[in-house]
Amino acid sequence: MAETTDYVTLISNDGFEFVMQRSSACIAEAIKRMLDPRRSASDKQDVRTDPLKDNFSEAQTNTCKFENISGVVLEKVCEYLYYHEKFRDQKDVPDMDIPPELCLELLMAADYLNV
Amino acid sequence: MPCSSLLDLSRRACIRNIDGITDVGDLPYHLLRPILLKVENPEQLREIETASPQICGHDAELWRAFMKRDIPNWEKKPHEPRNPNSWGKVYRKLLREDEEEQRQSEEALRAALNIRKEEKEKNQATIIHKAIDPEKRKARPAAKSSSTALLSFGGGSRTKTNTAQGVLDRARRETQETRNARNSALTMPTHLLNVKASQVRQAPRGMVVGYNRPAPPKIVGSSISRPAPIFISRPVVTDRDRALNAAIRSEREEKERRLKALTGLSNTGAQKPLAPPRVPGARGIASLPGIAAAGSPTSRTASPAPAPAPQQRKRPGYDPFMAVKRRKV
């Protein structure tokens, strides 16, 4: 049985680990699904094809490994997730700062994570 | 959620930094579309295409937009590529053609303008700032070539030669001045001034002709000290004339003798001026009027003169070198 802890770990392809609250992490749809205790690997209702073979282990260990996202980008993703959480109830929030060298990769990651 | 998604955020960040994007990795076109729409430079788009060929087929709309922007009359030209991935090539080709056309029309325009300009210049006079007199040029060969500067220190002139009219005026004035200088009396050197006035190079022509003629026979008793004045330059004297003259003279001498005998004592006797007998048909006796003229004054002077024969003359006789007496009119 999977234990739903408060914190989840996101691991980048170069080995960086980021620990963050589950509630923030699950803003990202993909992460939410990955961490969600799945009923079965071949669940047809799951629209997105899960790139990770082992869903179960994810749910058990509360970690998500991303093979296609680098550490720096993942860090920015985490920052965004917290930013999102923070300004959840506000309007006209200022944009988060994104350095130019990351913006394309971030775009890629954002598309993958559907966030 | 009030705050924008990470997608939007990153898209916006990309657009902000559009100039630095040359490679979009393997992102699918639908993600990149808003960003690529903002690409200004077709070259940049070409680079992105090269780096990420997966966008090639989809970016047709982008190239179309570029064609619309850069190439005039793009609809009239064939602008659909055979290969849907080579829109970039089509754009480049059309751009090159357009540039070529522009260059050609520019050339044609320039040529047309030059023709007009050349025709105008043909009719205009080119101003040569220094005109060299050919005579003076022989004396002064190969002076240094002067500049055509219009400002020269100490060089002013009455007639400015910066227009065609000025050049012509100056040329006219200069020719006139040289002509005057050449012909004027001021050109006589000082040491020759008085010499020329008194030098006699040739005998006067009248005397030369007179010298060649036979001298008139001396009239005895009459003090004809004045030779016959010549009125015609070349008198034609024939033998007949001479014989005639001799006859006339002898007759006259006879008459004079008689007259003197008659009026020898009285000076103021009425004297009939002798008229020599007119000989009809005698032509060309040039000396006749001369002799007549000589006869009459000499006859008048002859009578008082022989009376006081031993007396001296009061006034000097006629001398051709004597100054002519001026009469007050």
Write the ipTM.
0.81
Tell me the CATH class for A7-113.
alpha beta
What is the model's pLDDT at position B296? 47
Whether B3 and A77 lie within 8 Å, measured CB to CB: no
What is the model's pLDDT at position A62? 86
Residue numbers in A near B18 (CB within 8 A): none
Residue B43: count of CB within 10 angstroms of its CB: 11
Q: Is the dihedral of CA B140, B142, B145, B148 positive or negative?
A: positive
More confident site: B295 or B221: B221
pLDDT score of B279 more than 70 = no
pLDDT score of B147 more than 80 = no
What's B249's DSSP letter?
H
| Out of A33-47, B257-271, B275-289, least confident range | B275-289
| Out of A32-36, A93-97, B30-34, B308-312, least confident range | B308-312
A78-91 pLDDT tens trace: 999 988 888 888 87
Average pLDDT along chain B: 77
| Out of A83-97, B129-143, B308-322, least confident range | B129-143
Q: First and final CA of chain A: distance in angstroms? A: 28
Residue numbers in A near B17 (CB within 8 A): 100, 103
Q: Within 13 Å of residue B187, how many CA atoms lie on the same side as its CB?
A: 7
Would you list the domain boundaries of chain A?
A: 7-113
B289-303 pLDDT tens trace: 444 444 444 444 444
What is the model's pLDDT at position B107? 96
What is the model's pLDDT at position B284? 44
pLDDT score of B230 more than 80 = no
Chain B: residue whose CA lies nearest to A86: B3
Residue B307 near residue B267 (C-beta atoms within 8 A):
yes
Integer Cα distance of B125 and B64 in angstroms: 57
B197-219 pLDDT tens trace: 778 888 888 888 877 766 677 66
Integer Cα distance of B297 and B304 in angstroms: 12
> What value does the mean pLDDT take over residues B171-178?
91
Integer Cα distance of A35 and A22 in angstroms: 9
Residues 6 or more apart whose Cβ sits within 8 Å of residue B329: none
pLDDT score of B6 more than 60 = yes
Q: What are phi and psi of B46, to 5 degrees?
A: -60, -40
Alpha-carbon distance values, B282 to B184, B232, B236, B279 (Å): 51, 17, 12, 6
Whether A98 and B9 lie within 8 Å, measured CB to CB: yes
B63-108 pLDDT tens trace: 888 888 888 877 777 777 777 788 888 888 888 999 999 999 999 9
pLDDT score of B249 more than 70 = yes
More confident site: B112 or B236: B112
What is the model's pLDDT at position B266? 52
pTM for the complete prediction? Answer: 0.48
Please report the residues numbered 17 through 56 in chain B whose beta carbons come closer than 8 angstroms to any beta carbon of chain A.
17, 20-21, 24-25, 27-28, 31
Percent of the residues in chain B that have a pLDDT greater than 70, as a whole number: 71
Q: What would the DSSP string read from start to end of A81-103?
A: HHHHHHTTT-SSPPPPP--HHHH
Q: Which residues of A touch B (CB under 8 A)?
A: 77, 80, 83-84, 87-93, 95-96, 98, 100, 103-111, 113, 115
pLDDT score of B236 more than 80 = no
A30-74 pLDDT tens trace: 888 888 776 444 444 444 555 545 557 788 888 888 999 999 999
What is the model's pLDDT at position B229? 67
Element (H, E) at A18: strand A17-21
Whether B12 and A95 lie within 8 Å, measured CB to CB: yes
What is the model's pLDDT at position A43? 45
pLDDT score of B322 more than 70 = yes
